[in-house]
Amino acid sequence: MYYRVILWIMALTVFTVGGRAAADETLTFKFQEDVDHGQGVYKDCNDVTINKPGTVPIAELSPYIYINTDYATSREWYNTLIRFDHLANYLPEQGLSLEVVEAYLTLTFYNDGSYQPAVEAEVNTHPVLKSWNGTFTDWNNADENVAWEQPGAQGSSDRGEPHTSVGMGERDPFTDPYKGGEKFDFALPPEVVQSWLADPNDNKGIIMVIKPSTGPSVQFYSSDYEDDLSYRPMLTIIARELIPPCEPIPADLNNDCYVNHIDLWMMSAQWLECTGGSADIYDDDGDGCVNMLDYAFFAGLWLVCSDPTNDRCTWPPVVKCPPIPGDLNEDCYVNLIDLWMMTGQWLQCTGGSADIYDDGGDGCVNLLDYARLASSWLQCSDYQNSRCTWGK
């Protein structure tokens, strides 16, 4: 109990820096063709409408995207593919360490005054499973000489199950007509967009189709629309920056990247217990009890930190100091900590770390080992300490 009280007093009287905080704030990134939303002018949006042969053809560079179905039969006539390429190139350097928490596609409704769905229309978005090239993509082909499994990209290897469905809302064409410029958001699964950031090969975009038996057609502005760039399709990604994991430190009992008073409190709570607790850190696997051996080992790592977001943290050491006979805890110094460690192994013949006589040791910790430690007493080889001369 006496030693536990001493440890508590030490913990309460030491001032140190706490552990790192979690990154709870989110970052928002927007991608829209020829628009700079703070990440540079984005240039890699691809959208193309494919139409069934025999229907009215879509102009090659139409400023609109069109989604249409035969309402009577629910057969797809016009589908639209959208893909935002090279997303990671427009993110800050930490882009690939972002965790996507929300993502959505914003489309702007087109109506020149002559268009009005007679019934409520719902638009499904599906993940595209097959690579496609907008230059060659049409109703039958995903790319040059590469056909869709089924025309209109309707095959199971062409697209996955819908991940969102958005209703346009049933409107009265006379009292509440659809107006051009209204915006609709299509939620996208965060894990899907996360894969787009991590591996561009996974980014095959989405395909938009009319949900069967809902409405005949919907029209939006495409990435080719020139009069108002804000009407173009926009992808919004809301993400949280991931905190890189820190290197483990043997004395960092609460795993917060810092060895400080919190860990000392944890050690004091386990003091002299022989239950194999987290504070039993001596000699890698511990000796079964929390005692002065563990405290000596702990003291050698006091105030060490391995937080990769903190430039002052130097664990693990970039340059290992030259070994000194007697530096049992390998902290570059021969001092009381090493002497405590030797006393814990005194007269043991188990080949412990204090068996340092004659390099390979003689199997037991005795006066021969003590003499060797004494010959290096208070020597140090810390390359960051100008007063250390060992090995120089």
- How many domains would you assign to the chain? 1
Displacement of CA 374 from its chain's centroid (Å) = 50
More confident position, 46 or 179: 46
Does any domain span residue 91?
A: yes
Residue 392 lies inside a defined structural domain of this protein = no
Asked if residue 210 is part of any domain, the answer here is yes
Task: Provide the token pair at 191.
Answer: 């894990």
Higher per-residue pLDDT: 285 or 230: 230
Which tokens is 164 given? 């969102």
Q: Is the pLDDT of residue 274 over 90?
A: yes
CA angle centred on 345, ends 342 and 350, rounded to 5°: 130
| Residue 270 resides in a domain | no
CA dihedral 5, 8, 10, 15 (to 10 degrees): -160
- The band of 14, judged by pLDDT with boundaries at 50, 70 and 90, is very low
In a 3-state reduction of DSSP, which class is residue 369? helix
Supply the pLDDT for residue 23.
Answer: 55
Instruction: State the pTM of this model.
Output: 0.62
Rounded CA-CA distance 279/331 in Å is 19
Parent domain of 217: 26-241
Say which range, 29-38, 73-82, 168-177, has the weakest mean pLDDT: 168-177
98-111 per-position pLDDT tens digit = 889 999 999 998 87
Which comes out higher in pLDDT, residue 390 or 377? Answer: 377
What does the alpha-carbon distance between residue 232 and residue 66 come to, in Å, rounded to a whole number? 14
Write the pLDDT tens digit of every residue in 229-241: 999 999 999 998 8
Residue 85 in domain: yes
Q: How many CB atoms lie within 10 A of CB 96?
A: 11
pLDDT confidence of 160, banded at 50, 70, 90? very high
- Per-residue pLDDT, averaged over 350-364, amounts to 85
Is residue 340 one of the residues assigned to a domain?
no
Say if 46 falls within a structural domain.
yes
The residues facing 333 across adjacent strands are 380
Q: Is residue 279 part of a domain?
A: no
